[in-house]
Amino acid sequence: MTTVQKRPARLHHTAYVTHDLEATRKFYEELIGLPLVATWSESDMLFGAERVYCHLFFELADGSALAFFKFANPEDAQLFGPKMPASPFHHIALNVDKETQEGIEQRLAAAGYQEPAVYVLEHGYCRSVYVTDPNGMILELTLDHPDAEKIGKIRRENAHADLKRWMGGDHTSNNMFR
């Protein structure tokens, strides 16, 4: 008998360290279109020392948020905010509709973002615009394929079998949507 576990309801927030609050605010609020909904100035005893920081929250449509910390003490920033790896495989992806993706692309272009800081990848099941934020983090803005529900159903039905096949050494692509 399979036990169904209750899942978390939604992402509350993700958190990253920034070295420039205003550049981060401008990027996420003005270019990406996420409103700044909270700024918390805090001081806490954390990991054996008093840490003073500012915590910004940029809200997505579902109420979840991207959050960024700026530490008052540069040593804290070094300790808790290592540089983002320069890899497209370390990123955060946000789902957008066509109008939103086009608007963001236009604002990025107007702000001078161009390759390699911004690029498009057609995955088949979605169209992704990748852009590097002021912190070196890669943000992916994903527009689902019109048949996303059908595609998702196929992937869900085969998720375990596909994983087992891959782990067994069969690395043949199963993306028939490209």
pLDDT at 15 over 70: yes
> What tens digit of pLDDT does each residue of 72-108 get?
998 998 888 767 666 667 788 999 999 999 999 999 9
> What tens digit of pLDDT does each residue of 100-149 get?
999 999 999 999 998 888 999 898 889 999 999 998 888 999 999 998 88
Q: What is the mean pLDDT of the chain?
A: 89
107-116 — which CB contacts under 8 Å span 24+ positions? 107/30, 107/31, 107/33, 108/31, 111/31, 113/31
b (16+ CB within 10 A) / e for 38-63: eeeeeeeeeeeeebebeebbbbbeee
Q: Is 115 helix (H, G, I), strand (E, B) or coil?
A: coil
149-163 average pLDDT score: 87
Q: Cβ neighbours of residue 45 under 8 Å, at least 6 residues apart?
A: 51
Report the percent of the chain where pLDDT is more than 70.
96
Q: Cβ(9)–Cβ(62) under 8 Å?
A: no
> Which domains are delineated in the chain?
1-82 (3.10.180.10)
Length of the chain: 178
55-59 average pLDDT score: 94
Q: Can you give the pLDDT at residue 90?
A: 78
pLDDT band at 1 (very low <50, low <70, confident <90, very high): low
pLDDT band at 38 (very low <50, low <70, confident <90, very high): very high
Q: Is 171 helix (H, G, I), strand (E, B) or coil?
A: coil
Strands of 118-122's sheet, edge to edge? 91-96, 138-144, 126-132, 118-122
Q: Cβ neighbours of residue 47 under 8 Å, at least 6 residues apart?
A: none
* pTM of the predicted protein model: 0.83
Q: Cβ neighbours of residue 141 under 8 Å, at least 6 residues apart?
A: 32, 93, 94, 96, 100, 101, 104, 128, 129, 130, 131
Q: Can you give the pLDDT at residue 112?
A: 94
